[in-house]
Chain A
Amino acid sequence: MLLTALPLLFALQAQVRTIAIGADLAADAGIRVGDTVVVSARPGGGTEAAGAGAEGLAGRAVDTVVVSAIVERRADPSEIARNDYRVRLHLDQLQHLIGYGDRVDRFAVGTVDSAATERALGAINDAAFGFQAYRSRDIAAETSTTFEVVSRFHRAIGVITIVASAVFLLCILLLKVEERRRDVGALRLIGLSRWTVFRSVVIEAAFVSVLGSGLGVAVGWITSAAVNAYYQAFYRTPLRFSIVTGDIVLFSVLLSLALGVVAGALAALRLVRTAPLTLIGR
């Protein structure tokens, strides 16, 4: 829509309108606040329309405006992959530019509470001619399919990761227990019960799991910060792509603890079922 930045000082007259542009467009096009630019409603049609008198079939095809503000992009997930430049104009200015007349695409209506929302919805849909009112949450649900799909994908990846972690943990604990066969054999020979050995192995496994999950949370937190820094720069958005919440930390620690205890119990069972003399290699 925005064609070129022009140093047209003579265009700075009282009737020249102002626009706001996105920070990414300003950076890419080298536009600063106070610059005069020409905007057009037709892709690539600005110069052509200007030559034809700047009045096209769809209204004024081009307009000379002053950039009065540079705005940051909103943290809107639905805009992430598009990388579109954003230009904000006054409503009447855009209507005029694109030949829209006194038309708008939508109205946003504020209400005092949910009951008022229902009343307004009913009243508008009963009385209005030619348009339909929707709740914001219904529209949000309708447009959030992309994120639901990505979310389902992430959950599936998460399940695979948990399975891999469980096998890894079980394997490591089994090795750890196997390494101490002689120690455990000696302990059994001096009178420690199977139950005591079992408990000590399980407690040790739980301790290792909690310690490991604590370390994992720290690594996760750092990775999350790195992911946010990278994707925020990549997509030029303040959106947070990865968050580490208390619930997530708690879930991770508890899951790790549960896996550790189960793995420890399985490894300990193998150990206590073996005769002490066999354990020490006799």
Chain B
Amino acid sequence: MRSLLAMAALRRHGARTVLAVLGVAVAAAMLLCMVMLSAGLRESFRELLLSRGFQLRLSPRGTLPFDTEATITGATEISRVLRTLPDVTTVSAVLGGQLHVERGGESITSFALGVNPAAQGDYELLSGRDALAPDAMVVNDAFLEATGVQVGDTLDVAAGYNPQLRSYSGERRLVVSGRARFLYLAAGQSAVALRIGTLQAMTGRARNDEVSLFMLRLKDGADVEAVRRWIQGHVPRVDAISTAEAMQRVDERLSYFRQLGFILGAVSLIVGFLLVTTLVTVSVNERVGEIAVMRAMGISRAHVVQQILLEGLAISLAGAVMGLGLGLVTARYLNSILSAFPGLPAAIDFFLFQPRSAWTALGLLVIVGIAAGIYPSWRAATLPIATALHEEAVA
């Protein structure tokens, strides 16, 4: 009965109800986007970091992985020490650099990763063979497109460019053995991976036995923080960064988006609240006589309150359902804008849909819908029946 009366009240002013639902839908869409933005970036980054099962990363002290050109010297000795730790199952050393390929009279520069193919966590092989041989490399689609080569082709590549002498420190003839997707690189960034020894020799990094990064995979159930602390205390040249800490550092750098999400989400809720409150309050003001008659007939205060709360809730729910669909479309559009962020891995999504996001947005809107009905229902419940009936009769 209460629902029926609430729906009848909303239908009586169809245009304004539709507008209010539309307003709530836009606010709900914005809210969903912002909930997705707040949690999505963090979750997406966590999934990316853990996608290959490496829980710890060791970068040159004071830096983040590949944040600068700093390297860790004496890599073989550090690697040996790390392998003695009982909780460590895999140690993957990575060296970053640049490779140059001469094609059609111009030099094409590509990001290069020196890895141990048997224990690497930087790429997924899509086709062909891994770069197991010292003269082999795997490349991504951007590289294939830029150079026009195919898997199986042989290329003359160079590293360690000296701009003053216009010379390279190392030149090799390498075979493109496979095609891969690099997990941590930005979309469209040309990249190759080859054996770390080959890249060290080409870039002149072999002399000091330098690497850019170590990645460690630990045993199931191992205490990551305890291993991290041990490394931090015993290997002075590196910063040991756990997944949680890496996420915290990324959070610090991209906190702007999280805060923006929080602020705009709060604004959306306030707008939705004001809209529903205004609409239901005006609706109650217009029905003062009707409510007074209902009360005079013996309808309880609780009944009136519930009916008005239901009106607010119905607008909020209808708007929320529309808004969730609209929000998913908007989030995809906004994500396409932010995915052009330079240097960010292509696998990172700013707006990541999770059922939890939708439930959170829906739950908040239900709360707002109920809260929006409190003031008008209080007005209706405390209406002086005799005075209201008298005024209505005079009017």
Q: Which residues of A contact B (CB under 8 A)?
A: 1, 42-45, 47-48, 57, 81-83, 103, 129-131, 145-146, 149, 152-153, 156-157, 160-161, 163-164, 167-168, 170-172, 174-175, 178-179, 182, 231, 234, 270
Contacts and interface: CB of A to CB of B under 8 A. Distances in A.
B330 A152 contact: no
A130 B278 contact: no
Nearest to A45: B237
B23 A164 contact: yes
B166 A171 contact: no
B16 A175 contact: yes
B15 A81 contact: no
Given A146-B342, A156-B334, A83 B252 contact: yes
A182 B285 CA distance: 14
B208 A145 contact: no
B26 A164 contact: yes
Contact of B340 (A42, A103, A129, A149): A149
A111 B322 CA distance: 59
A148 B341 CA distance: 9
A164 B27 contact: yes
B62 A44 contact: yes
Contacts of B395: 182
A103 B255 CA distance: 38
A134 to B, nearest CB: 14
Contact of B341 (A149, A157, A160, A161): A149
Contacts of B166: 129-130
Nearest to A170: B19
Q: Which 3 A-B pairs have the closest CB atoms?
A: A44-B61, A43-B61, A171-B19
A149 B30 contact: no
A146 B341 CA distance: 6
B80 interface: no
A157 B26 contact: no
A152 B341 CA distance: 11
B246 to A, nearest CB: 15
A174 B19 contact: yes
B278 A175 contact: yes
A157 B62 CA distance: 36
A132 B395 CA distance: 85
Contacts of B30: 160-161, 164
A171 B16 contact: yes
Given A149-B341, A157-B264, A171-B23, A164 B271 contact: yes
Contact of B337 (A1, A129, A149, A175): A149
Contact of A167 (B19, B237, B342): B19
A171 B165 contact: no
A149 B334 CA distance: 10
B298 interface: no
B253 to A, nearest CB: 4
Nearest to A80: B256
A255 B395 CA distance: 39
Given A146-B341, A152-B337, 6 more contacts: A45-B237, A81-B256, A149-B341, A149-B342, A161-B30, A164-B271
B13 interface: yes
A44 B341 contact: no
Contacts of B341: 146, 149
Contacts of B23: 164, 167-168, 171
A174 B15 contact: yes
Given A164-B23, A175-B278, A179-B282, A103 B238 contact: no
Interface in B204-258: 207-208, 236-238, 252-256
A44 B271 contact: no
A282 B382 CA distance: 29
A57 B208 CA distance: 9
B333 interface: yes
Contact of A43 (B70, B252, B286, B334): B70
B275 A43 contact: no
A130 B167 CA distance: 10
Given A43-B61, A44-B237, A81 B254 contact: yes
A145 B65 CA distance: 22
Given A164-B27, A167-B23, A178 B16 contact: yes
B139 interface: no
Given A168-B23, A171-B23, A145 B342 contact: yes
A44 B236 contact: yes
A157 B166 CA distance: 47
Interface string B42-84: 0000000000000000001111000000100100000000000
A153 B395 CA distance: 53
B207 to A, nearest CB: 8
Interface string B158-187: 000001111000000000000000000000
Contacts of A161: 30
21 contacts: A1-B62, A42-B73, A43-B60, A43-B62, A43-B63, A44-B238, A45-B73, A149-B341, A157-B264, A160-B29, A164-B268, A164-B271, A167-B23, A168-B274, A170-B19, A171-B20, A171-B278, A174-B15, A175-B278, A179-B285, A231-B256
A48 B74 CA distance: 13
Contacts of A43: 60-63, 70, 237
Given A43-B63, A171-B279, A153 B334 contact: yes
A120 B372 CA distance: 67
B299 interface: no
A237 to B, nearest CB: 12
A160 B26 contact: yes
Nearest to A169: B23
Contacts of A146: 341-342
B133 interface: no
B15 A270 contact: yes
Contacts of B15: 174, 270
Contacts of B321: none
A131 B161 CA distance: 12
A137 B286 CA distance: 62
